[in-house]
Amino acid sequence: MKLKNSTVTVIGGSGFIGRQVVERLARAGARIIVLTRNADRAKFLRPMGAPGQITLVSGQANDDAILRQVIDQSDAVVNTVGILAETGKQKFSALQAELPAAIGQMLAENAFLANSALRMVQLSAIGADAQSKSRYARTKAEGEAGLLAAWPSATILRPSLVFGAGDGFFNRFAGMAMTAPAIPVIGGGSNRIQPVYVGDVADAVINALKNDKTAGQIYELGGPDVMSFRDAMRYLLKCIRRKRLLLSVPFPIMHMAATAMRILPQPPVTNDQLKLLKTDNIVADDALTLADLGVAPTAMDAVVPSYLERYKPGGQFNMS
């Protein structure tokens, strides 16, 4: 499809990945509807486009009336909604399993009425597996299946761990390294990850929308660097020029700690997240990848050191 003058709805468009998608859609000349929980807090998106180009709609993504309202006005839909842990009303089943299926059903109904949002891109995750012990991974797989059952022409993108300025991975551990004498490496840190740049994920979304041949396909998105979790922590410490002990913590001990921390409003780690850390998070050998979407993966060295500078001793302006 041609993005210029098309209307694209981005569900969760104020999030880490969503805002990058919105920016690129604006540059491509699309009209953009952003469904977000709080439109006032998402006003930072408006300057990304021309006056009137970006419309912000407040509402819960799993509110069928609001969801239908934004989908009915669109030529394409991008769903970036996902959570790493359940908090309050934010549940895996509702947001990761039921929401994509509901979007697919609405697209199918619109197609029957000849008022179809022709393209749909779903942000899922590497590791989505209906047989996984992790509810996060299971609901991601259920969401994919429900969407494709209702709307088979959807394109599904499965990124590995996503990095970039403002990410919740390298920033989180860098902040910990500023004060803690050691960084916990769960289960020895042997599980492998393939970090992918958030800008590359956003470019993949745009290219998928523009190329109708991506309809019905599943792509796994990973960067050029495959590393163990322990090596990622070593890389982080090198970037921020700090020496810290990498403390290996066995899974059974971490599970006991996670169980004890369930009473906290936002526990630092959950049992479900620990289950994810027991498996690799890398692109499969036979998968369609960023290259198939015309995106050259960005190396971590080109991005990560610059946004971690503020965690160095003395801060980002220390020249020593």
pLDDT per residue over 230-284, tens digit each? 999 999 999 999 999 999 999 999 999 999 988 887 888 899 999 999 999 999 9
The helix-helix angle for 99-112 and 64-72 (nearest 10°) equals 50
Predicted pLDDT at 256? 94
Predicted pLDDT at 116? 59
Residue of 310, 305, 306 lying closest to 178 (CA atoms): 310
Q: Average pLDDT, whole number, for the chain?
A: 94
Q: How many C-alpha atoms does 272 have within 13 Å on its Cβ side?
A: 16
Predicted pLDDT at 118? 81
Task: Quote the CA–CA distance of 5 and 301 in Å, as a whole number.
Answer: 36
pTM: 0.95
Whether 318 has a pLDDT exceeding 90, the answer reads: no
* Residues contacting 266, CB < 8 A, separation 6+: 85, 87
Tell me what percent of the residues of the chain surpass a pLDDT of 70: 97
* Residues contacting 12, CB < 8 A, separation 6+: 18, 35, 36, 61, 79, 80, 81, 82
φ/ψ (deg, to 5) at 184:
-70, 130
pLDDT band (50, 70, 90) for residue 127: very high
Predicted pLDDT at 110? 84
